[in-house]
Amino acid sequence: MSDLEYERRLWPRIKNAFRVLVAFTFSHVGVCGLVVGYMICGAFLFQMIEKQEPNTQLEDVRKIRNETANELLSIVLMFNTLEKEEFFKLANAAIKNYTEEIVNAINLGYEGEPLNNQTHSTSVPTENVSWSFSGAFLYSLTVITTIGYGNVAPRSPWGKIATILYGIIGMPLFLLYLSNIGDILARGFKWTFARCCQCRWNCVKPRRYLDNGQLDEEAVPDEEEQITVPISLCLALMVGYVWGGGLLFANWEKWTILDASYFCFISLSTIGFGDLVPGDAISSTPGREDEIQLSFILCSLYLLLGMALIAMCFQLMQEEVVATVRKIGSRLGCSRK
């Protein structure tokens, strides 16, 4: 083989290898890894962007508190002789204002300052759990799956821009993941189901006889592609998963079973209200950040697996529906000229 010929054969081989690599990355195992990697990168990104926020918020709240205190002082100093009702009325108004300001801050993500921090230092009181790594990971997950809880949301402008860009790339990627995984799982499930079906047929087979006494050979089911998984099974699987998740979260988060199932359903359907989010119940008591982080991770895994299962069920149901419709159509609409 001359050198030229060798080169001409080598280059397409390289290209071929590259093509194989790309094909692998965008299919099956590759895309899973890609999605998880993308979420991890997103977690780091958001963590970096958003973690400075609590400090400024703390400062803001402190400023508000100072202002309120000053206002109260001026109230007290206003009167030479202080009447109780007057004081109560004015102080009430001041406190009411203060409440509103705090609530505004809470809406913006303020999480309170623990009471044992007596000094006026600028240290971050507790680690801000929402934007820890696992919190940011959950946030990335909610963005690319479009669940979008909203209990943690970016506050800084850069965070918002980053969310937009992250979503634009991440959402199609996640859809790719879903379609791939759904495909694999559907095939695997159908294969398993077909095996079980055949086992049943084989057990039943000896009893089928034609009228003339011969064994009905055609009672064996057709090739595997003809077997479609019944819709009821898919539905049962989905309901079971939601229910199981409900039990799990009820146990872990100390919610009621209804609340936990409701949470699972709302998350898996990607509605994602965010009124119930794992880690909520525990977050008010400080010192249990590890548990909270663990519950975030658990939630992420549950969601990833759940959405893959739902993709699989949708695919199976779709095939069944198409096959049924075709059957009906062919029976009804033969004279379609």
Report the C-alpha gap between 128 and 107 in whole angstroms: 16
**Among 218, 127, 175, CA closest to 307:** 175
**Nearest distance in Å: CB 76, other proteins:** 6
> 210 to 249, contacts with other proteins by CB under 8 A?
none
Q: For residue 64, give the amino acid letter.
A: I
Decide whether 191 or 209 has the Cβ nearer to other proteins: 191
Decide whether 8 or 195 has the Cβ nearer to other proteins: 8
**Nearest distance in Å: CB 44, other proteins:** 20
> 84 to 143, contacts with other proteins by CB under 8 A?
84, 87-88, 91-92, 95-96, 98-100, 102-104, 106-107, 110-115, 142-143
Q: Which of 175, 197, 231, 297 binds other proteins (CB under 8 A)?
A: 175
Q: Which of 37, 56, 124, 160 binds other proteins (CB under 8 A)?
A: 160
27 class by beta-carbon count within 10 Å (0-12 exposed, 13-18 middle, 19+ buried): middle
Decide whether 134 or 267 has the Cβ nearer to other proteins: 267
**Nearest distance in Å: CB 266, other proteins:** 7
DSSP 135-201: HHHHHHHHHHTT----SS---SHHHHHHHHHHHHHHHHHHHHHHHHHHHHHHHHHHHHHHHHHHHHH
Decide whether 102 or 294 has the Cβ nearer to other proteins: 102
**Nearest distance in Å: CB 265, other proteins:** 5
Q: Which of 1, 80, 122, 157 binds other proteins (CB under 8 A)?
A: 157
Q: Which residues pair with 237 in a beta bridge?
A: none
Query: How many C-beta atoms lie closer than 10 Å to residue 289's C-beta?
Result: 18
C-alpha of 98 from chain center:
36
> 56 to 85, contacts with other proteins by CB under 8 A?
61, 65-66, 68-69, 72-73, 76-77, 82, 84
When asked if residue 193 is in the footprint of other proteins (CB under 8 A), the reply is no
Decide whether 19 or 195 has the Cβ nearer to other proteins: 19
The mark string for 15-54 relative to other proteins (x by CB under 8 A, - otherwise) is xx--x-----------------------------------
Report the C-alpha gap between 181 and 188 in whole angstroms: 10
Under DSSP, the state recorded for 218 is: G
Residue carrying structure tokens 């508190």: 65
> 259 to 288, contacts with other proteins by CB under 8 A?
259, 261-262, 265-266, 269-275, 280, 283-284
Decide whether 199 or 271 has the Cβ nearer to other proteins: 271
Decide whether 10 or 199 has the Cβ nearer to other proteins: 10
Residue carrying structure tokens 């995984």: 181
Under DSSP, the state recorded for 270 is: T
**Which of the stretches 5-13, 34-42, 121-129, 296-304 binds other proteins when contact is defined by CB under 8 A?**
5-13
Q: What angle do CA 13, 16, 21 make, to 5 degrees?
A: 130
**Nearest distance in Å: CB 206, other proteins:** 29
Decide whether 49 or 313 has the Cβ nearer to other proteins: 313
Residue 311 exposure: Cα atoms within 13 Å on the Cβ side = 20
Report the C-alpha gap between 177 and 183 in whole angstroms: 10
